Structure 1
């Protein structure tokens, strides 16, 4: 694998983010985006992009992932339930903005393109699920969540409503809606002796 020029990498990611930003009058959808357009906008060759990424979806996922992880941290300095509440709220808040439009487009693209689905899972979903499961395992260890439910099941139960609201443009895709999801779910997952 070629050594990436950090300047070129950042230019490609910034160009991709700019081309997909719905606040721009000339914004593109993921479907209309092309490697050629990214290369032209970034001032690099198509070969440079293909040397580092296998597809436009992979570029878009990496573009999104850099911002997503920075804006939706999972904090170790808080009790797990507080960190989980904060994380769910930050994901909902992020998805309520233009980043949510991009995520919805990525999920849609995954439905008919197996390569995009594989890239999405490998570059984004698997890592974020692992992070959420780790946070829930910490909540179990701290006594805030039942021990008889698999942490991955709890993660899916908590995060799925956010994606439902994102994809169907339902209300409640905000910090308050995320807290409501968690509060409602806790009636079923809270440890019996937890306060």
Structure 2
């Protein structure tokens, strides 16, 4: 009697989903550990123990714990930036800055601050954060500026990048260098002050 051989046995069929589940567990463990003990204190051993995934497998997917941390951070949040587009540049700036400050004052904001610190000595972390998080938000600021200029609300003699820095830069400074509030009222006050120099006369 000839035995029929399954060309795609069950173990082979479920192998890839198991790997994806393991990857998700690693990212979840890293995300939890960053909030609980901080990025510096978190170790690959702890990530492996909590996720149930061996260190050898983790190092096969990521070169170090910082690479795991960046991917976990980005996976845990929506990196797409909302563009308010209300028809008013000043209102759009206020709403966008409020959203950034809300993010900064939450748990992800604290993790983000740690990643920014590590990015100073890890160029790969800096590149990932710029590409996946900062640039999408900066593009919103540029779009708001361009619409405001086109409607005649904003000055045409000011460099767009400097204008975006003036509006959104204070939030980053407050996150990293002060314990000043990161709330809606502060966002509105920053935009109001910036608009005194940016608005068309």
Name the TM-score class by shorter chain: 0.7 to 0.9
Instruction: Determine the C-alpha separation between the residues in 1 that align with 2:187 and 2:129.
Output: 23
Spell out, residue by residue over 1:141-187, the C-alpha distance to the aligned partner (whole angstroms, 9 max, x if none).
33332222222211111111111111123323111111111110000
Query: 1:125 is matched with which residue: 122, 134, 138?
Result: 134
Spell out, residue by residue over 1:108-158, the C-alpha distance to the aligned partner (whole angstroms, 9 max, x if none).
112233333233333333333233323322332333322222222111111
> Quick check: 183-192 or 50-59, which moved more?
50-59
**Residue in structure 2 matched with residue 186 of structure 1 by the alignment:** 195
Query: 1:168 is matched with which residue: 163, 177, 181?
Result: 177
Instruction: Determine the C-alpha separation between the residues in 2 that align with 1:80 and 1:8.
Output: 46
Instruction: Determine the C-alpha separation between the residues in 2 that align with 1:51 and 1:150.
Output: 45
Mapping of 1:5-20 within 5 angstroms? Answer: 7-20=21-34
- The 8 Å contact of residues 16 and 59 in structure 1, kept in 2 or not, is answered as yes
Query: 1:44 is matched with which residue: 36, 48, 53?
Result: 53
- The 8 Å contact of residues 79 and 133 in structure 2, kept in 1 or not, is answered as no
Spell out, residue by residue over 1:71-119, the C-alpha distance to the aligned partner (whole angstroms, 9 max, x if none).
x53234x225233211100111221222222122111112233333233
- The 8 Å contact of residues 101 and 187 in structure 2, kept in 1 or not, is answered as yes
Aligned length: 183
**Residue in structure 2 matched with residue 143 of structure 1 by the alignment:** 152
Unaligned runs of 5+ in 2: 1-15
Query: 2:143 is matched with which residue: 121, 134, 141?
Result: 134
Displacement of 1:48 in angstroms is 4.6
State the TM-score, normalized to the length of structure 2: 0.75
Instruction: Determine the C-alpha separation between the residues in 1 that align with 2:25 and 2:100.
Output: 26
**Residue in structure 1 matched with residue 79 of structure 2 by the alignment:** 69
Query: 1:104 is matched with which residue: 92, 98, 113?
Result: 113
What value does the CA root-mean-square deviation take over the aligned residues? 2.7
CA distance 1:175–1:7, shift in 2 (3 Å): farther
State the TM-score, normalized to the length of structure 1: 0.77
Q: Which has the larger radius of gyration?
A: 2
